[in-house]
């Protein structure tokens, strides 16, 4: 009986942690061609910005990673922002923006640089 009670408590604790963890829900971008800077805003609601946050925002293309920024917390409980400098890119070139949650999943968006 004691083992069943411990198992139940363990299962509830695990479910509670995964139920509150979720990946980012949206990615918005703005590109400044003159500066070569891509500003990324990731929608990721969290109640505890130190324990549940966007841990990395990455920009990549077929040849590999163009730039990224890593985080150890989330500055705002609704969004995580980063400005990433991109070098040697061409107008209209498609890149992937990926935002990684530290607890659960990621969100990806493909954009064309304008």
R_g over Cα of the chain? 18
83 within some domain: yes
CATH of the domain at 92: 2.60.40.730
Q: How far apart are CA 70 and CA 37, in angstroms?
A: 17
45 within some domain: yes
In 3-state terms, what secondary structure has residue 17?
helix
Is 17's pLDDT higher than 50? no
Percent of the chain whose pLDDT exceeds 70: 83
Confidence at residue 5, expressed as pLDDT on a 0 to 100 scale: 57
43 within some domain: yes
Per-residue pLDDT band at 110 (split at 50, 70, 90): very high
Percent of the chain whose pLDDT exceeds 90: 69
Which residues constitute the domain of residue 34? 22-112
Burial 91-109 (b: 16+ CB within 10 A, else e): eeeebebbbbbbbeeebeb
What average pLDDT does range 38-59 have in this prediction?
97
Domain count, the chain: 1
Give pLDDT tens digits for 88-107. Answer: 888 889 999 999 999 999 99
Q: How far apart are CA 29 and CA 41, in angstroms?
A: 6
- The reported pTM is 0.81
């Amino acid at each position: 009986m004691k083992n069943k009670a411990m198992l139940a408590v363990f299962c509830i604790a695990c479910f509670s942690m995964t139920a509150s963890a979720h990946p980012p829900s949206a990615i918005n971008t703005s590109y400044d061609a003159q500066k070569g800077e891509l500003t990324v805003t990731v929608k990721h609601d969290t109640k505890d910005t130190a324990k549940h946050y966007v841990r990395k925002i990455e920009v990549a293309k077929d040849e590999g990673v163009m730039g990224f920024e890593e985080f150890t917390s989330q500055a705002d409980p609704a969004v995580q922002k980063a400005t990433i400098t991109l070098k040697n890119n061409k107008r209209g070139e498609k890149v992937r923006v990926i935002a990684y949650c530290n607890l659960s999943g990621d969100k990806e968006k493909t954009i064309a640089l304008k």
